[in-house]
Amino acid sequence: MKEGIHPEYRDVVFLDVQTGTKIITRSTAVTRETIDIDGVTYPLYKCDVTSESHPFYTGAQTRIVETGRVEKFRARFAGKTGALKK
């Protein structure tokens, strides 16, 4: 490999800001913040969504949204079905 053309590959902490889960893995992600874990300082990358908090992976997809869609559909077409029956 050529020297000086590749990004630095190092241990980085990915923090899920919704759940507070910390994942230490190797990455080339560029960060400004750092965090100390067990006496070792790591670069910190904050993620809005990870597999720990995304509804698809957690199985906690909200039924409220689906119920809301059905209710909106019924409310929208409730008046029209009465006109068709007459």
Q: Is residue 15 part of a domain?
A: yes
> CB–CB of 32/44 below 8 Å?
no
Token output for 70: 């059905």
> What's the average model confidence in pLDDT over 55-61?
62
The whole domain housing 45 covers 1-50
> CB–CB of 26/9 below 8 Å?
yes
84/77: higher pLDDT: 77
Q: Is residue 67 part of a domain?
A: no
- Percent pLDDT > 70 in the chain is 73
Q: What is the pTM of this model?
A: 0.61
Per-residue pLDDT, 57: 59
Q: Is residue 61 part of a domain?
A: no
SS3 21: coil
For the segment 11-33, what is each residue's pLDDT rounded down to a tens digit? 999 999 888 889 999 999 999 99
> What's the total number of domains in the chain?
1
